[in-house]
Amino acid sequence: MPDISWNLALWDQNYDWTLEGEEWSSWWGGSEAQWFGSIYPRIHRHLPATKVLEIAPGHGRWTRYLLQYCESYVGIDLSGQAIDACKRRFARAPQASFFQNDGISLGDAPDGAFDFIFTFDSLVHAEMDVLRQYMPQLLSKLSDRGVAFIHHSNFNEMPPETDNPHSRASSVSADTFKELVEACGGQVLAQETLNWGGPNLIDCFTTFGKAGAHGDWEPVRIINDRWVDEMTIIRETQSPYSTLPSHHGGLAHAPREPGTLYKGARALKGLIRKYAG
């Protein structure tokens, strides 16, 4: 089962990062289509955020979008070469800083600072022992009403003989993750189990915050066995729009001025609050 040394050997040494992870987005027709069609709709309530923490950014497939929605950003990854790649790729983004860690420590991120913590397509390979180390730190890094969106394994819910071609962590499920959040003083806001790349609901997105910060919220539970359909629709009907000409070169290529969208989106949310209630 994937442990920290398995992850380090694969992502730091053996993986060919030539395409910067873009190859994993080909099912959606590219990362731009995947971000706007699949990821952003699930996290838009939490953006823009003043400070964003991303766990395991790899070569920054999602960092380039997250940077548009925040004033400052911290990325922490186990792989030193991934961190070096992010430092090079986002050298012109002064609001971003990147740190290598040991696969369990978030010591480089300040406590109580982050309105949004995000990780996607990475901690699916983290077993419960790693998540047990991370969880108390994640909760302490969040600001009072901050929210974390964590993509993790649900493989522990599968029958023992289930094939595991995507190397999902076998000790983790939506339920074990929720218990961990609650045991560490957190409150689950939503959980979505989904069929990543096949018929089985092997993955889960959990959104959570600090206990009590969101009132007596009843967790939303979504069982999504149409993830592959969603992916196909995005590829076939949305991704062509990501190729259209754009007067600023498209959001993903935009950050001429860091945080431009952050400022615009914040102003817009202020106006909506004022005039639309």
- State the residues that interact with ligand SAM by CB under 6 A: 4, 7, 11, 21, 55-58, 61-62, 77-79, 82, 101, 103, 120-122, 125-126, 130
CA separation for the pair 52, 109 (Å, rounded): 10
Task: Return the closest-CA partner of residue 204 out of 220, 185, 183, 184.
Answer: 220
**Beta strand 114-119 with 142-153: parallel, antiparallel or unpaired?**
parallel
Of 172, 129, 167, nearest to 150 by C-alpha is: 172
Nearer to ligand SAM, 126 or 204 (CB): 126
In angstroms, rounded to a whole number, what is the distance separating the alpha carbons of residues 215 and 217? 5
| Smallest distance, ligand SAM to C-beta of residue 82, A | 4
Q: Closest separation between CB of residue 257 and ligand SAM, Å?
A: 25
* Pairwise CA distance, residues 131 & 213, whole Å: 22
CB of 122 to ligand SAM, least distance (A): 3
In angstroms, give the least distance from the CB of 65 to ligand SAM. Answer: 11
Choose between 78 and 187: whose C-beta lies nearer to ligand SAM. 78
Question: Which residue is listed with tokens 């615009």?
Answer: 264
Minimum distance between the CB of residue 7 and ligand SAM, rounded to whole angstroms? 4
The number of CA neighbours under 13 Å toward the Cβ of 140 is 13
Which residue number has the CB closest to ligand SAM? 58
Q: Between residues 167 and 232, which has the closer beta carbon with respect to ligand SAM?
A: 167
Here the tokens at position 177 are 């993750």
Nearer to ligand SAM, 121 or 203 (CB): 121
Nearer to ligand SAM, 118 or 262 (CB): 118
